[in-house]
Structures are given as C-alpha cells and as structure tokens.
Amino acid sequence: MPTKAAYQTFEATNLEFEFYLAQKLGMTVGRLRDEMSNDEFMHWGVYYARIAQREQLERLKGGGGG
C-alpha cells in the first residue's frame, strides 16, 4: 500500500497540473473542474507527459544532458 507521502506527492503534482492546464486552456481551475471529465483530464496529463518525454529524449540525443 502506498504511503501517505506518496499520496500527498501525487495530489500536489495533480494540483500543479490542474493550474497548468487551466492556464493553457484560458480558464480557471474551478471552471476546469466543473467542465472537464476526469477521463479527459487524465488524457491531457498523458499528452503533456509524452511531449515532455519526447523533449527529454531529443535533449539526450543531442548531448544536452537531462
């Protein structure tokens, strides 16, 4: 079973992403929560994670480090 710290880390990361996505979409976090399903929110998370992963791989290929 995950520790309380693991849950807190996830919640903090999730909250940070909520603010990031709301800003990107030009809406408040409250509006994002009201209008977006959890399923769509999770898909956005995967989308941005994949972008970050690709950028990191490109940096590593180019010798830019981590």
Judge whether 18 and 32 are in contact, CB under 8 Å.
Answer: yes
Instruction: State the pTM of this model.
Output: 0.70
Q: What angle do CA 29, 46, 25 make, to 5 degrees?
A: 35
What pLDDT is attached to residue 46?
95
Distance CA 54, CA 48 (A): 10
* 66 residues of the chain, pLDDT tens digit each: 656 666 566 667 788 999 999 999 999 999 999 999 999 999 999 999 999 999 999 999 987 655
Backbone angles phi, psi at 47, to 5 degrees: -60, -50
